[in-house]
Structure 1
Amino acid sequence: MPPPSYRRLYETGDLAARVEQAWEILRSCTLCPRRCSIDRLQGEAGWCGSRDLPKVASFGPHFCEEPELVGRNGSGTIFFSNCTMRCEYCQNYEISQCGRGEEIRCDDLARIMLALQRQGCHNINLVSPTHYVPQILRALLAAAEGGLAIPLVYNTGGYDLAETIRLLDGIVDIYMPDAKYGSDDAARRFSHAPHYTRYMQESIREMHRQVGDLEVWDGLAVRGLIIRHLVLPGGYAESREVFRFVADEISRDSYLNLMDQYRPEWHAVLRESGLPAAFSRPLNAAEFEEALGEARAAGLWRGLAPGGEEG
């Protein structure tokens, strides 16, 4: 199995330089498409509510990710608090929107990474990392000094800036973005994310440029792109356009995890939510089968069914 990408940058000293470059962004934060331009190093908080310290809700081996990430010992998942979006139906709303978690030092984040490696986890899986990229890189530098040597997974909702993703070139081994919506109207209405499709598509193009299609060694992902798409009831994600983009502009060999686990959460359970009636019920089998057929018709074949590679 090849060594993770960041080891080479650590050994050449380029990782330390990248940390300093990213840290300066916190003085006028433009990490995500909202470009709040606030000074987080002086304690200011922007739209996402994050300041200078990384805020972590939980961490540990996770066994509910794609099989190629989980392996036998689990994916070493770190759930970061806050988010660059506000999905009305978010299943992790206590973390993403209510801010549950604890602010920790970057050195403590490095210790978490090393502890997950000691537990046998196959990778470090950073969930909702975009608003903490500088802090993650500083922690990664310390963890690399401590011997961290397993792949780094960037697990994001897809509302990213290509410029921020370019900072991670040669550092991240596996990108795992959501491609949530096929239209900006849906993204604005259901996730309060203006111009989502443009930013999502630009960032996924950059991710694929860096790491290419998913590479698997002995059943474990070592490098590449995994794209997730949650099928929404009533067709409100406009999935067909997502599939067209992935197939025509990324790669027909893209690994697409087509997810069927929508259930009403957060504001979707409120009678006066203002959401379409379909959001108050789970996804049904016919809706998922329709989306699956559309993905296949677009020429996609890897992943697709929940749980990983299709047989």
Structure 2
Amino acid sequence: MYRLPRLPSAVKISCGSVLRRALIGSHRKLHLAPPWLLDDYIPRYHLISSVDASRKRSEAYAHLSKCNLCPRLCGVNRFEKTGVCLIGADVKVDTIAPHFGEEPCFQGHNGSGSVFFSGCNLRCVFCQNHTIAHQRHGFDLTPEKLAEWYMMLQDVGKVHNINLVTPEHVVPQVALSILHARDLGLRLPIIYNTSSFDSLESLKLLDGLVDIYLPDFKVWRDDTSRRLLKADNYAATAMESIKAMHAQVGDLCFTDDGIAKKGVLVRHLVMPGKADEGREIVRWIAENVSKDMMVNIMEQYFPRAHVGKARRGKSAKSEEVVEVVEPGGLRASPQTMAKVRYEDINRPVDLDEVALVRQAAEEAGLWRFVEAAKHGGFNI
């Protein structure tokens, strides 16, 4: 009987490695260079010392007593009253559940463990989550109860991460909840899903607790931010915040299952007539933060919240027949057409505008883009 020649052990190991890589490569096409591919990952909150954890707890309570953790600088005692964000010492949460509407690298097969906080420190007139962010819907939770929900998302929901949505105004409570959840046995990465209207003091408190920063860079011009976000110096604040986030956790990294574990991913929602601002934003990211930054250029803008509503005050009296789209995309009949609020953004975004921003990003040197899954599910 013919026998195969014996191979040296080193050769067998090498062949086995090649075979494993070939099999993995046929199933998963991550196309990741080693700097962004992790063998394993330990959440950052497990790496801080007990002394640092105690210090962060003390700082969190101090910030709540004289709130300075967003650029509004309300300075209120959150144990007694609320500021612009409408939230006091406890958090108000609208929804806690596995979420399948995030980027594929966050939602995976089991979903992202999303916590949608009520309240916000911005007042975006086009807010896609208007009833959550601008109204106090939901139920109240202490940081300790919030930590218990993290554990349920991990142990029952089997989610891939804890995704804190719009948390800028509840950073002290978030810090306390993460530290408590650590003691309860949480072992999932923490995502800080923010509008980028954060203060450096806030991000300093989060350093060592957050694994993934998911900032949204909304607009570039100051007059746009004052008119549409009701905030001064938004772009300057966002630039400062995103730089600080990147300094903490770097570019987005994954394990070989395609799930992101650490780093920054910047979102930009392209808005009608604002492609020029989007181009400035992606150029700034490439030139001032990192050309290896992962970016999601989003096309799902649609009139929401106050956009398309009837004008108030004196201007409401002067009816002018114009072609408008009401909230939800319903066209008004010619008899009821009248001037509406924020007419310039009262339409879905044009895909040509999205393409212009994408082109500017590529020309600036960005190359890591979030691509939609072709099959409508988890893209690995």
TM-score range, shorter chain: over 0.9
Aligned to 2:34: none
Q: CA deviation at 1:272?
A: 2.1
Q: Any residues of structure 2 matched to 1:78-157 within 5 Å, and which?
A: 78-118=115-155, 119-157=157-195
Q: CA deviation at 1:237?
A: 7.0
One-letter amino acid matched to 2:224? A
2:252 pairs with 1:214:
yes
Give CA deviations for 1:190-215 in whole Å, capped at 9, x if unaligned.
00111001111111110000000000
CA gap of 1:222–1:72, structure 2 versus 1, over 3 A, is same
One-letter amino acid matched to 2:245? M
Q: Which runs of 4+ in 1 moved over 3 A?
A: 273-276, 304-311
For residues 83 and 237 of structure 1, the distance between their equivalents in structure 2, rounded to whole angstroms, comes to 27
Give CA deviations for 1:253-284 in whole Å, capped at 9, x if unaligned.
10111110000001112132765433111112
Question: What value does the CA root-mean-square deviation take over the aligned residues?
Answer: 1.9
Contact 1:176 1:228 in 2 (8 A): yes
Aligned to 1:277: 343
Q: 5+ unaligned residues in a row in structure 1: which ranges?
A: none
CA gap of 1:310–1:116, structure 2 versus 1, over 3 A, is closer
Aligned to 2:106: 69
2:107 pairs with 1:57:
no
Q: CA deviation at 1:184?
A: 1.5
Aligned to 1:249: 288
Secondary structure of the corresponding residue to residue 153 of structure 1: strand
Q: Which residue, 352, 360, 363 being the options, matches 1:286? A: 352
CA gap of 1:196–1:26, structure 2 versus 1, over 3 A, is same
Q: 5+ unaligned residues in a row in structure 2: which ranges?
A: 1-39, 313-339
Aligned to 2:218: 180
Q: CA deviation at 1:236?
A: 6.2
2:274 pairs with 1:235:
yes
Secondary structure of the corresponding residue to residue 87 of structure 1: coil
2:231 pairs with 1:193:
yes
2:259 pairs with 1:259:
no
Larger radius of gyration: 2
For residues 50 and 57 of structure 2, the distance between their equivalents in structure 1, rounded to whole angstroms, comes to 13
CA gap of 1:305–1:2, structure 2 versus 1, over 3 A, is closer
Q: CA deviation at 1:307?
A: 5.8
One-letter amino acid matched to 1:281? R
Secondary structure of the corresponding residue to residue 124 of structure 2: coil
Secondary structure of the corresponding residue to residue 167 of structure 1: helix
2:206 pairs with 1:168:
yes
Q: CA deviation at 1:167?
A: 1.3
For residues 150 and 216 of structure 2, the distance between their equivalents in structure 1, rounded to whole angstroms, comes to 23
Q: TM-score, normalised by structure 1?
A: 0.95
Give CA deviations for 1:232-254 in whole Å, capped at 9, x if unaligned.
01126711110111000110110
Aligned to 2:369: 303
For residues 270 and 162 of structure 1, the distance between their equivalents in structure 2, rounded to whole angstroms, comes to 36
For residues 22 and 99 of structure 1, the distance between their equivalents in structure 2, rounded to whole angstroms, comes to 23
One-letter amino acid matched to 2:159? C
Give CA deviations for 1:157-208 in whole Å, capped at 9, x if unaligned.
1111122101111111000011111122111110011100111111111000
Q: CA deviation at 1:75?
A: 0.5
2:240 pairs with 1:202:
yes
Give CA deviations for 1:55-91 in whole Å, capped at 9, x if unaligned.
1110110111011111111100000000010000101
Q: TM-score, normalised by structure 2?
A: 0.78
One-letter amino acid matched to 2:309? L
Q: 229-238 or 96-105: which moved more?
A: 229-238
2:264 pairs with 1:225:
yes
Q: Which residue, 84, 87, 92 being the options, matches 1:47? A: 84
CA gap of 1:51–1:109, structure 2 versus 1, over 3 A, is same
Contact 1:153 1:174 in 2 (8 A): yes
Secondary structure of the corresponding residue to residue 306 of structure 2: helix
**Identity of counterpart residues, as a percentage?**
39
For residues 274 and 168 of structure 2, the distance between their equivalents in structure 1, rounded to whole angstroms, comes to 28
**Alignment length (residue pairs):** 309
Give CA deviations for 1:136-177 in whole Å, capped at 9, x if unaligned.
111112211110011000000111112210111111100001
